[in-house]
Amino acid sequence: QAAGRGSYGEVSFGKYRGKNVVKKDFKFLHTKKLRLFNYREVYALATCNHQNIVKFIGTGPNTLISNIRYVVIERATNASLAERKFESSFKE
């Protein structure tokens, strides 16, 4: 299910192993600078492990369209960060 399109690629919603996920498809990255930015973003997502940051699930090539890579992350809920902070204050 397509969710949006921007200058760097497309975002779509789906399911992976029963979980709601977001898939970010990158357009062809024809410059070294863009590829480096892409790899840094993926590395940053993969190394984050915090309850308030969406979970990184994986990345890989899209074999249907050459030279495009994608990232899969968990889909966040509709609640804003402020709403989540408010909810967690009652749990403490």
Compute the half-sphere exposure of residue 12: CA atoms within 13 Å on the CB side of its CA: 10
pLDDT tens, the chain, 92 aa long = 677 787 778 888 889 999 889 898 887 667 777 777 777 878 888 888 888 788 889 888 756 655 557 888 888 876 565 655 555 555 55
Tell me the C-alpha distance between 57 and 2, whole Å: 19
Structure tokens at 26: 């990158």
For 56, the token pair is 């990184």
Q: How many domains does the chain have?
A: 1
Range(s) of the domain holding residue 58? 2-91
Q: Kindly report the CATH number assigned to the domain that includes residue 49.
A: 3.30.200.20
